[in-house]
Amino acid sequence: MKARIVVTLKNGVLDPQGKAIEAALKSFGIEDVSGVRQGKVFDLEVASENREQAEATLKAACEKLLANTVVENYTVEIA
Amino acid sequence: MKARIVVTLKNGVLDPQGKAIEAALKSFGIEDVSGVRQGKVFDLEVASENREQAEATLKAACEKLLANTVVENYTVEIA
């Protein structure tokens, strides 16, 4: 099964990278973009027998490695 | 308008980071995940009068800064 995991910063967590991107966009003359927040996306294959097992595997992958659950949220989409 | 930009590597482009993540997942005992490819996601606000103008602004942001269009694809989703 194909799946996509999106990891984003929790609300309230400062995103200096997002601020830097916003400033860079302005320097390129792109003025009307604000509140930029950067995250990560993982596209992958999961070899599970059923959807529930795939979700459990991907949840474990996020909790153990892909997301820092103290400051990040993650969403799992299974195609 | 809220928007999300997803930047991913083009097919055929090697993803060493994805390979490293795959190996790390295996070391955590998560065996049935393969073909990991990492990308970037940007959540932002765009202050445009209409949808077409917002799309044009976001396309320019991708082409100028957010995506390396030689090796990356980008998708723009406007909420």
Distances (CA, A) of A31 to A9, B45, B53: 24, 11, 13
**CB-facing half-sphere around the CA of A41: CA atoms within 13 A:** 18
Domain ranges of chain A: 2-78
- Quick one: pLDDT at residue B62? 98
Question: What's the token pair of residue A65?
Answer: 């490695």
Closest CA of chain B from A4, distance in Å:
10
Instruction: Give the pLDDT of residue B67.
Output: 98
- pLDDT tens sequence across B36-50: 999 999 999 999 989
CA atoms of B48 and B54, how far apart (whole Å): 5
pLDDT at A49: 87
Mark out chain B residues that contact chain A at CB-CB < 8 A: 6, 8, 18, 21-22, 24-25, 28, 30, 32-48, 57-58, 60-61, 64-66
B contact test, residue of A7, A8, A28, A32 with most B CBs within 10 A: A32
Task: Provide the ipTM.
Answer: 0.93
Regions in chain A scoring below 50 on pLDDT: none
What pLDDT score was predicted for residue B49?
87
Using alpha carbons, select from A32, A37, A47 the residue that is nearest to residue A78: A47
Give the domain A2-78 fold: Mth169; Chain: A , (3.30.1280)
